[in-house]
Amino acid sequence: MGEVAVLDALSGTVASSFERAPWGWGVLVILLGFFVRLRPIMAKLASERETSLLAARAQDNDSLRQRVEALERRLDDERRAHDAERAVDRHRINNLTQCLDALLMLLEMAPDKAGDHVARIKEMRERQASMESVEKATITAAVVTMTGPAS
């Protein structure tokens, strides 16, 4: 019996509200109609927005990927240039070691001709220095060709 009383009260409230403001139900029906008609339009707008956001994100990802690839190429170029410079440094150290060893050997063999030995080693060092400068110039030219001139 309680359920019947609730339903009677509810139907009485609805009926009395219709009697007090019959246009209110009409407005409610119109609003529901607008809502039903706008749902496909809102769904289309949401889909377009999502598509444009995905396209913008894809473009950003492509831009970022291109920047990373450019940085990786630059890093590889710098690594090759550094390796070449280290090779020149190793060559220079080997030359210095060779000159020192030659000087020591000559001094041990003929200590009385030390002045001649020093002059001979200086000539050797001058030849090595000119070859080292050519190597450094070649490496610098290769780096400039590879990466472009320094800014």
- Which stretch of 25-29, 40-44, 64-68 has the lowest confidence by average pLDDT? 25-29
> Up-side HSE of residue 96: CA atoms within 13 Å toward CB?
7
Nearest to 146 by CA among 57, 80, 67, 68: 80
How many structural domains compose the chain?
Answer: 1
Q: How many whole angstroms separate alpha carbon 142 and alpha carbon 84?
A: 10
Encoding tokens for residue 64?
């970022």
What Cα–Cα distance (Å) separates residue 105 from each residue in 36, 108, 111, 117? Answer: 102, 5, 10, 10
Q: Please say if the pLDDT value at position 60 is more than 90.
A: yes
Helix (H/G/I), strand (E/B), else coil: 72: helix
Encoding tokens for residue 54?
């995905």
Q: How many whole angstroms separate alpha carbon 88 and alpha carbon 129?
A: 11
Q: pLDDT per residue over 39-48, tens digit each?
A: 999 999 999 9
151 DSSP 8-state letter: -
Q: Please give the residue range of the domain that contains residue 115.
A: 2-147
Q: What is the pLDDT of residue 150?
A: 56
Q: How many whole angstroms separate alpha carbon 94 and alpha carbon 89?
A: 9
Encoding tokens for residue 83?
């390796």
1 DSSP 8-state letter: -
What's the mean pLDDT in 110-117? 87
